[in-house]
Amino acid sequence: MTTKKTNVHLVIVTGQAQANLIPILQLEPDVVALAVSSDMKKNADEFKELLKRLRPELIIQCFDDVPSVGLFSIEQKAAEIYQTLQNNYPQSMITYHATGGTKLMTLGFYPIFAKQNNRVIYTDTAHNQIELVYPREQAAIPIEYALDVRTYLRSLGFSFQNSMSDNAGWTTPAQKRQQLSQWLAENSQSLDAFLGKMNKLATTALNAKENSVVEANHFLDPAFANEYSVALGKLSAADIFQWNNAAPNKITFKTANNTKYIKGFWLEEYVWLMAQNLGLSEVKSNITFGRGQEATKNEMDCIAVHNNRLLAIECKTVALVKKDAKDTNQILYKLEALGKGIGGLYHEKWLVSARPVPLEVEQRAKNAQIKIITPEELPNLKTHMKNWRDAKR
C-alpha cells in the first residue's frame, strides 16, 4: 500500500484495444488496472505487452474472472476491484474507462466508480474527444494523441519493420509519375487487355528476384501496338520502357524499378498518392511487419492512419481468375488477418483492383467485411478515401 496520490485508470479489457489505449497514452496514468473476463485473457495478455512496450514505467494490475453476464455478479466484482484499488492507492483518483467490455459490464461498473473523486470517461473517436461522463457538466477532453502506423500495428499484435515510402528513392519517382499513374487508373477499364499484357511482359523481363532486367526486348502484335499506341507513348515518354513510332511493335525494358512499375507498382503508387493528397495523418506504402516473435514477414501495399483509425489496402493488377485463386486467397487472407478480432469500428480493409473482379471474390470479400474498389470505381478512389476520412464512427 502507498499513501502517494496516484493516477489510476481502470479498463475493462475488450477486443478493440484502441479505445482504451488512446486515453492511457494521452492522460498518462501511473497505474492501469485491467478487469479481465474469462474470454478476454488472451486479449489482456496482448494489451499488457503493448502497454509495457509503449510505457515501460507503467504499473499494471490484473483482476481476472470478471463476469460478463449477470448484473448483480458484475456489480459485486466491480465493488471488490474498487475496494482493492482504494486500499492500494488511498486518496487517489480512479478513472474508469466506460468504452470497453459488454454493455452489461459497463452498466455494472458505472455506479461503483462514478462517485467521490473518481471520474468516468468514454473515448468518442467519432468526434475526436474523450467524453467526461462523470462528474457531469464538464467539458470533453480533445483527443490529442494520434496513433501512428507503428503504434496501431502494435495494438493489433504486429511489429512494424519497414516501408518503401520511407525512402526518397521510392517517393520521388512516384511523385514524378503521378499524372501517369492517375491516367492509368482513370483508363484502367479500357486498358484491361493492355495492362494484362504489360504485366506478363514485365514479369518475363525481370529476373526471379526482380532486381534486374534479364530480357529487355519484347515484340508486340501490330494490331495490339496500334490499338494501344497512346498508352505506349505515355509510358515511353515517362521512360518506363523504350518505344517509338519508328518501330511500333517493339518495346525495350530498361531498369528493374521502371519495369516493376508497369508490372503493377503503378497502382500502389496511385493509391499512396491519392491518400497523401488528402492530408491523412500518416500513409505508408509497401509495408513489412510481423506478429509477435514470429520471423515470418507480412506485407501490405498501403496502410493509412487518420484520427486514430486505420485503413489497410491491398492492390491487384492481374486478373482475379480461377487460375490465380491461390494468389487471390493470399490477398484476402492478409486483409482478414490484419483486423481479426478487433471488429470494424477502428479500421477498414480494402482491395483495390485495376482488373475485373469475379462475383465469387466479391462475395468472399463482403463476408470478410473487405471493401472492393473495382476498375469502374478506381478513378473515384480519392473520393472513397475522403468519405472514409470524414466518416463519423
CATH of residue 366's domain is 3.40.1350.10
The residues, ordered by sequence, that sit 6+ positions from 71 with a Cβ below 8 Å of its Cβ are 104, 107, 108
Mean pLDDT within 100-107: 92
Q: Is residue 377 part of a domain?
A: yes
pLDDT digits (tens, 9 = 90+) for 52-77: 988 999 999 999 999 999 999 999 99
Query: Any idea which of 99-113, 143-157, 215-229, 233-247 has the lowest mean pLDDT?
Result: 143-157
Q: Tell whether 241 and 339 lie within a shared domain.
A: yes
Q: Tell whether 27 and 156 lie within a shared domain.
A: no
Q: Which pLDDT belongs to residue 342?
A: 39
Q: Kindly report the average pLDDT of the chain as a whole number.
A: 89
pLDDT digits (tens, 9 = 90+) for 145-199: 778 999 888 887 788 899 999 999 999 999 999 999 999 999 999 999 999 999 9
The residues, ordered by sequence, that sit 6+ positions from 239 with a Cβ below 8 Å of its Cβ are 254, 258
pLDDT-derived band at 325 (thresholds 50, 70, 90) equals low
Give the domain range for residue 23. 8-145
Q: Do residues 314 and 301 touch, judged by C-beta distance below 8 A? A: yes
What is the rounded distance in angstroms from the CA atom of residue 241 to the CA atom of residue 219?
A: 13
Residue ending a domain, choose from 129, 145, 161:
145
Strands 158-163 and 282-291, how do they pair? antiparallel
Q: Tell whether 134 and 224 lie within a shared domain.
A: no
Q: Tell whether 107 and 69 lie within a shared domain.
A: yes
Q: Is residue 47 part of a domain?
A: yes
The pTM (predicted TM-score) of the whole model is: 0.83
CB-based burial label for 362 (10 Å; 0-12, 13-18, 19+): middle
CATH of residue 126's domain is 3.40.50.10770
Q: With 70 as the cut, is the pLDDT of residue 259 above it?
A: yes
Q: Total domain count for the chain?
A: 2
Q: Which pLDDT belongs to residue 292?
A: 62
Q: Tell whether 121 and 218 lie within a shared domain.
A: no
Q: Tell whether 98 and 156 lie within a shared domain.
A: no
Q: Which pLDDT belongs to residue 296?
A: 63
